[in-house]
Every structure is written in C-alpha cells, then in structure tokens.
Chains A and B, each alone.
Chain A
Amino acid sequence: MAERLAKFTSAMDRLYEFDREPVTPDKLQSGGKFAGLFAGEHVAATEFVIGAFFVLHGVTARDLLLGLFAGNLLAVLSWTLICAPIGVRTRLTLYWYLRKIAGPGVTFIYNIANAFLYCILAGAMISVSATAVGLLLGIKVPALNAVLPTSAGWVAIAFVLGAAFTAMAILGFEKLSRFAQIASPWIFFAFFAGALAALSKLGVGTDLSNLWQVATSRIWNGVAEAGQEKFGFWHVLFFAWFCNLAMHVGLSDMAIFRYARKWTYGLYTAFGMFPGHMLAWLCSGVMVAAVGRQMDPGLMAFEAVGAAGIGAVLLAGWTTANPTLYRAGLALQTVTPNWPRWKITLLAGTATTVLACFPVFFLKLLDYVAIYGLVLMPIGAIVFAEHWVFPLLRMEQFKAEKKGWSFNWAVLAVWPGTIVACFLLPIHLYFKWLPGWFIALVSYTALMAARRTK
C-alpha cells in the first residue's frame, strides 16, 4: 500500500513544470496552440450567465452589439500591447517577475489574494454546471437575490461536481487541455444551435426578415428586470474590456505568453474574445429570452438544445474551471514551494468546491468580475511601470531583488491605496478601473522616484 502510494505521489510530482525558471526556446509554442487555447478558454460556462444577464439588465440590441465589438477589441489590444510584450521579454510568470519588483513578502500576499479570487471564479463555473445537474435531479436553481446555499441538494451537487473537477485537474492538466481542445468547438456549436432554435421559438421567420424586430422587442428590448440595474452602451463596452482585466492589464496571462514566440501572439486572443465574449454572449441572451428570462443556464440549454445542452453546460464548466484551477495552483506554488502540484491543486480545488456551494458568486457574477479585476489591476500597473517606465526615466529596476527587500513598501502602499481611491471615485463600478490604472502607475513611479532622490 505504502509503495503504491509512493508511486502515486511520485507520478504526481512529475506533473511539476518549470514555472520558476524562464521558459527555454525549445518549449515555445506555435500560434495555432495559442488560438486553440484562447478559443477553448473563453467559451466558458460563465458565458451562459453573462449574455443572459445583459438581457435582464435591459441592454438594447444596438448598445449590445456596438459595446461588445468595441470592448472586445480593446481587450485584444490590451493583451497584445500590454501583457504579451512583457511575457515574451521576461519569459516568466507574473508571480516570479513580481517577486523581483515587490519582494517575496508582497508576492506572498498577492498570490493568496489571486488564488482566492481564481477559486471564486472557478466556483462560479462549477455553480453554472450545477444548474444543469440540478435540472436533471429536479433541484431548483437559487433565485437571483440568493447569497447562501438554498437547499441541501444544491450543496450536494456543487460538492460532487467540485470534487470531480478537482480530481480530474489533479490527474493531468495537459490531458484535460487536449480534451478542452476537442470540446471547445462543440461547445460553441451548442451555443449557436441553442440560439438558432430559440430564435425560431421567439418567432423569427426563416427568411430572417423580422430578426431585428424580434431582437429589439423580445430579446434586448431595453427593459431591465425588477431589481436589476439598467445597462447601456458604456456598461457593455467596459464589461467586455475588463472581463479578463486580471489576465491582460493585470498581466496574469504572462504565464501563458511566456511560451509565445512573438508579442504579436496577443492578437490570438481574438479567437477567444469574438466567438466567446461576443457570439456566445449573444447566443445566451437569445436562449434566456426564449425561457421567459429565467436565469437558469441548465434550463436555457436544455430547452434550446435538449439533452446535449445539459452536456454543454457541464463541459463548459469543467473545461474552463480546469485552467482556472491551474492558475490558482500556480499562484499558490510560490507560497508553498515544497508542495507538489497535486497537493496544491487539491487545496485550490477544495476551496473552490466550498465556494461553489454559494450561489451569490454566479448570480452576482458581473459585479464579481468587476471587483476581481479591480483588486488585481494595480499590480499590473506597478509591473508595467517598473518594466517600461523606469528604464525611460533611467530609474533602477528590481530594487527589491537587488537589495533583498522582503516587502517593497511602495508597492504595499500603492496597491491598496489605488483600490481605496477607485472605490471612492464617484463613478459606476465598471468604470473605476481605468482611472485606477493611471493612479497606480503614476503614484508608484512617483514613490520610487522620491525614494531614489532621498
């Protein structure tokens, strides 16, 4: 038994990658792999919720189309011009690069925060998958204002799914990534099929002549549901832009772009953004309109696609919770240097499973996504300043590493300071991050310059 256990843990240890060293040239990946990765990752279970919420928030069809196009374009440009160049130049994950800038103490705090936020996101994906299983077992999806678990059945489903997803993530991230590559085109087809079938049910004619009329009167009719805030063009644009803020402006996707041959590989994110964050959101909006605006991804997909729809919701949750768990594991790895990957993934998966039991994270997903990006964004601005602005101003880089600081106090002051400043700004939650990024950039540069003068 002990021997088998040793073999098992030894096999798990081999899953360890070379996260702590710059990626070597022989490990760089082709553009096609990046296109596949982004296409798979951004047609996620959460798309069933986000697109549907735009309908519930009373967005008009015109505002939605223009806002999604502009916002996703800005997101692709953020990856290409901000995240990818730093990832390609350093070949390091953000965590290890931040260690040079902010010191291991700050990295520790950042990684705890990051891992916790990733776990909530993965938990939301599991919750969405749980709605599909709940439909099969006759367990009601929590109401829009639910915060705590609403039934033992809901908790049981979330728990079983969380445990299953975690177990599969432990057994092999690589194998699951390959499976995700197979699943992602099909999931997208399921969105498309569901929307097309739902359009038919909503009364769109076979010649599509009344498509716009149905879209503006029965789907995105500009009327918000009771208790939901009314959204317009700017809300949609900013949401599409900041939806992955932690990944692009927040630089967390340096972990991916360190494998890119060129910074222009950032443009491959368009393969994720436009099918996933534009077409899939439009499709889920159509599907929710066809079920009388009920926020129940399992029901939406089942009504529109049948039994395969249930599979689509489950698989979308599984294949996207997997890389999120992987990222959470990466974040925790710096905190637990001697732990093998499987143990870290188990820790992240357990936290995720507990969080998945709370429906608030998927029912308030839009606000959570905004807060999640806002909390991590200042670190991206700080790294951007250190990487690009400091050399321009002839300021010394990586002082924390050179002087052996555990904490770079400028980072520790700017990070929470920016978050507080953002929350005090008298603008909508969705718009706060943009001025916040400049606040962080300027204040960190100024503080470090003042330190140099002293």
Chain B
Amino acid sequence: MSDRVFRFVSRGLALISLGVCLAAPVLFFLGRIAERTYKTGFLLASIGWFLLATAWATARKRRPGN
C-alpha cells in the first residue's frame, strides 16, 4: 500500500472510530442499545481511534516536506 493510500485509509477509519464513540452514547440515550453494548462499543471504538489516529499521524509525519 502506498503511503498516500495508507494515510487516506487510516484517517478515514480513525474518523469512523471517533464517530462510533459519538454514536454509541447517542444510541444508548435513545434506548436503541443496552448500556453494556454502549460501553463495549465505546471502548472498542476508542482503541480503534488511538491506533488509527496514531498511524495516520505517523504517516503524515513521514510525508516528504514535513
């Protein structure tokens, strides 16, 4: 995978993870999911955010000119 594609994918997935962090409590508040599901979803999405955002930041730092 080229650096550019990697940056694009990692950024996209990181933002999706953050989106799940937002969606999980909203769905719990609306009564669509159980508390346990919300907390597990938030935890997994959080781990995803940190891994993917770190990968994105690292790839961005490697970019020529940075």
Residues on A close to B: CB < 8 A? 178-179, 181-183, 185-186, 189-190, 192-194, 196-197, 199-200, 204, 206, 305-308, 311
Alpha-carbon distance between A295 and B61 when the two chains are bound, in angstroms = 41
8 tightest Cβ-Cβ pairs between the two chains A and B: A306-B39, A193-B25, A196-B25, A308-B43, A182-B53, A189-B21, A308-B46, A196-B29
Q: Determine the chain B residues whose CB is within 8 A of the CB of A183 once the complex forms.
A: 50
Q: Determine the chain B residues whose CB is within 8 A of the CB of A178 once the complex forms.
A: 57
Q: Determine the chain B residues whose CB is within 8 A of the CB of A200 once the complex forms.
A: 28-29, 31
Alpha-carbon distance between A185 and B19 when the two chains are bound, in angstroms = 11
B10-41 interface bits toward A, Cβ cutoff 8 Å, 1 = contact, 0 = none: 00000000100110111011110001001110
Contact A193 B24 (CB under 8 A): yes
Contact B40 A306 (CB under 8 A): yes
With A305-B39, A308-B43: A197-B29 Cβ-Cβ less than 8 Å: yes
Q: How far in angstroms is the closest Cβ of chain B from A454? A: 58
Alpha-carbon distance between A438 and B49 when the two chains are bound, in angstroms = 48
**Closest Cβ neighbor of A302 among chain B residues:** B39
Q: Determine the chain B residues whose CB is within 8 A of the CB of A307 once the complex forms.
A: 39, 43
Contact A186 B29 (CB under 8 A): no
Q: How far in angstroms is the closest Cβ of chain A from B3? A: 18
Contact B42 A186 (CB under 8 A): no
Contact A197 B25 (CB under 8 A): yes
Q: Determine the chain A residues whose CB is within 8 A of the CB of B40 once the complex forms.
A: 306
Q: Determine the chain A residues whose CB is within 8 A of the CB of B30 once the complex forms.
A: 206
Write 23 A-B pairs (CB below 8 A) sorted by A numbering: A178-B57, A181-B57, A182-B54, A186-B18, A186-B21, A192-B22, A192-B25, A193-B21, A196-B29, A197-B25, A197-B38, A200-B28, A200-B29, A200-B31, A204-B29, A206-B31, A305-B42, A306-B38, A306-B40, A306-B43, A307-B39, A308-B39, A308-B46
Contact B57 A193 (CB under 8 A): no
Using a Cβ cutoff of 8 Å, how many contacts connect chains A and B?
Answer: 60
Q: Determine the chain B residues whose CB is within 8 A of the CB of A190 once the complex forms.
A: 21, 42, 46
Which listed residue, B25, B35, B46, touches A186 by the CB 8 Å rule? B46
Contact B50 A186 (CB under 8 A): yes
Alpha-carbon distance between A206 and B38 when the two chains are bound, in angstroms = 16
Q: How far in angstroms is the closest Cβ of chain A from B63? A: 15
Alpha-carbon distance between A48 and B56 when the two chains are bound, in angstroms = 29
Which listed residue, A181, A185, A192, A197, touches B35 by the CB 8 Å rule? A197
**Closest Cβ neighbor of A206 among chain B residues:** B30
**Closest Cβ neighbor of B47 among chain A residues:** A308
Alpha-carbon distance between A306 and B35 when the two chains are bound, in angstroms = 9
Q: How far in angstroms is the closest Cβ of chain A from B28? A: 6
**Closest Cβ neighbor of A181 among chain B residues:** B57
Alpha-carbon distance between A310 and B26 when the two chains are bound, in angstroms = 20
Contact B28 A196 (CB under 8 A): yes
Q: Determine the chain A residues whose CB is within 8 A of the CB of B39 once the complex forms.
A: 305-308
Alpha-carbon distance between A183 and B46 when the two chains are bound, in angstroms = 10
Q: Determine the chain A residues whose CB is within 8 A of the CB of B38 once the complex forms.
A: 197, 306
Alpha-carbon distance between A189 and B46 when the two chains are bound, in angstroms = 10
Q: Determine the chain B residues whose CB is within 8 A of the CB of A308 once the complex forms.
A: 39, 42-43, 46
Alpha-carbon distance between A206 and B35 when the two chains are bound, in angstroms = 15
Alpha-carbon distance between A182 and B40 when the two chains are bound, in angstroms = 21
Q: How far in angstroms is the closest Cβ of chain A from B44? A: 9
With A192-B25, A193-B25, A206-B29: A182-B46 Cβ-Cβ less than 8 Å: no
Contact A182 B50 (CB under 8 A): yes
Q: List 17 other contacts, CB 8 Å, given A189-B21, A196-B25, A200-B28.
A: A178-B57, A179-B54, A182-B49, A186-B18, A186-B21, A186-B46, A189-B18, A190-B42, A190-B46, A192-B25, A193-B24, A194-B25, A206-B29, A305-B39, A306-B42, A306-B43, A308-B46
With A193-B25, A197-B29, A206-B31: A186-B49 Cβ-Cβ less than 8 Å: yes
Q: Determine the chain A residues whose CB is within 8 A of the CB of B22 once the complex forms.
A: 189, 192-193
Alpha-carbon distance between A311 and B24 when the two chains are bound, in angstroms = 17
Q: How far in angstroms is the closest Cβ of chain A from B43? A: 4
With A182-B53, A182-B54: A311-B25 Cβ-Cβ less than 8 Å: no
Q: Determine the chain A residues whose CB is within 8 A of the CB of B29 once the complex forms.
A: 196-197, 199-200, 204, 206
Q: How far in angstroms is the closest Cβ of chain B from A195? A: 8
Q: Determine the chain A residues whose CB is within 8 A of the CB of B35 once the complex forms.
A: 197
**Closest Cβ neighbor of A201 among chain B residues:** B35
